[in-house]
Amino acid sequence: MSTSDSIKQILGVKDKNIESLSCQEDFYKGKKVILAEAALIRTFHRCPLCKVSSEALVRNGKKVSMILLNRCANKQTYLRLKKQRYLCRYLLRQ
């Protein structure tokens, strides 16, 4: 079992699209918390809105979300999740 799988199991993360998990203690909003960092990896075969093939989709940066998880070692635990954003070229032309 790899380290990231162990961290996923301890934190209760069950999504298979979440990868590259690392864990450290850090300060967030003035409090010492456990901070897990991960990335959400998704691939699209077509645009979810207009149903055009994935060739029209381009990457458009990442959005970072801070998700509060269950307490671990009597400390607040947060997941900093980086989500890939996409833009459809076909929808821009319309």
- The domain segmentation of the chain, as residue ranges, is 3-93
Return the DSSP state at 54.
Answer: G
pLDDT of residue 94: 62
Output the pTM of the full model. Answer: 0.76
pLDDT of residue 39: 92
pLDDT of residue 33: 94
| Tens-digit pLDDT string for the chain (94 aa) | 576 677 777 777 787 888 877 889 999 999 999 999 999 988 878 888 888 777 788 888 999 999 998 888 888 999 999 999 888 888 766 6
pLDDT of residue 78: 93
Distance in angstroms between the alpha carbons of the first and the last residue of the chain? 48
- The CA radius of gyration of the chain, in Å to the nearest whole number, is 17
Give residues with Cβ within 8 angstroms of 65, minimum separation 6: 80, 81, 83
> Sign (positive/negative) of CA torsion 29, 18, 25, 33?
positive
